[in-house]
Amino acid sequence: MTTPTPRAERPTYQVGVFALVQQRENVLLVRPHKLLLPGGPQSLPGLILDHSNTGMGIVETALRRLLLSQVGISVGDLRLVGSHIVRAGSERHPAMRLNLIFSTEYNSGILNPQPDDLKSALWIPRVQLEGQVPEWLRAAIQEMLTTAAPEPELQHGGLSLFRRRSTEKS
């Protein structure tokens, strides 16, 4: 018979959300004071969800607010492009964390990393990252590139919200 683990010693589960922000051919990387992602000092902007930012809130909204407050930028639509699980916490308080990576396009703002949160934030050319980044980031970048939203094509004919159906006469 096994004895149950006391509640305080049970592993906990966390969720991290991170933004893979692209501006033309550049990707935003940050150097946080406290590393949240594995793979070195460079990271993506993001946060670990906890009791203060969960509940009825929308994850994407929390991520948008973080980008505006930490680095001073606003972004477009967020699309899930990656996920991975890491061990977090300490030996005494172990935790497993599911990290979700959302890709997005830079919209506006001046890059202004807040010193209380970040050591630095830089736009890095995507080609410089090839082969030098952790697997989880490489996979997220690849997914971002392959699932990029297609540019809307103007089609002749058909219905539109603001114009009448056009027909071509031969």
Which of 6-10, 64-68, 129-133 ranks highest by mean pLDDT? 64-68
pLDDT at position 78? 95
Name the band, by pLDDT with cuts 50, 70 and 90, for residue 169: low
Q: Is the pLDDT confidence value at 100 over 90? A: yes
Count of C-beta atoms within a 10 Å radius of residue 168 = 6
Rounded Cα–Cα distance for residues 32 and 46 (Å)? 10
Name the band, by pLDDT with cuts 50, 70 and 90, for residue 46: very high
Alpha carbon separation from 117 to 4, 53, 83, 108 (Å, rounded):
39, 17, 23, 20
| Tokens coding 150 | 């297609």
Which of 47-51, 60-64, 88-92, 106-110 ranks highest by mean pLDDT? 106-110
Q: Is the pLDDT confidence value at 103 over 90? A: yes
Name the band, by pLDDT with cuts 50, 70 and 90, for residue 86: confident
% pLDDT > 70, the chain: 75
Q: Tell me the pLDDT tens digit for each residue of 105-124.
A: 999 999 999 999 999 999 99
Question: Amino acid identity, residue 13?
Answer: Y
Name the band, by pLDDT with cuts 50, 70 and 90, for residue 6: low
pLDDT at position 72? 96
Mean pLDDT of all residues in 14-39: 92
What are the chain's domains? 7-146 (3.90.79.10)
